């Protein structure tokens, strides 16, 4: 979980510049699914799915190969 949090710390400043943030809800080692909650402006932004998949998911999967998918809950 530490590596996941470290990867998110790299992304967090960009999210916060736009008034948003991300919070880890759960990670299943058996499925590789990371559940996150998008906060602030990210929670209802029309671009949030792009941010989630091309930003958050891409960075976390690069840093933590055990993560296979990132979903917002």
Question: What is the spatial distance between Cα 47 and Cα 7, in angstroms, rounded to a whole number?
Answer: 21
* d(C-alpha 68, C-alpha 36), whole Å: 13
Q: Where are the alpha helices (DSSP H) in the chain?
A: 2-17, 48-50, 58-63
CA distance 70 to 58: 9
Number of domains in the chain: 1
pTM for this predicted structure = 0.92
Over residues 26-68, the pLDDT tens digits come to 999 999 999 999 999 998 888 999 999 999 999 999 999 999 9
pLDDT of the residue at 45: 87
Q: Which two tokens stand for residue 7?
A: 């990867």
Dist CA 26 CA 33 (whole Å): 8
Domain membership of residue 10 as a residue range: 2-72
Q: What is the CATH number for 23? A: 3.30.300.130
């Amino acid at each position: 979980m530490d590596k996941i949090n470290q990867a998110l710390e790299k992304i967090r400043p960009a999210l916060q510049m736009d008034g948003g943030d991300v919070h880890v809800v759960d990670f299943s080692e058996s499925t590789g699914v990371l559940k996150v909650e998008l906060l602030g402006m990210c929670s209802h932004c029309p671009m949030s799915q792009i941010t989630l998949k091309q930003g958050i998911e891409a960075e976390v999967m690069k840093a933590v190969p055990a993560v296979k998918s990132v979903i917002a809950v």
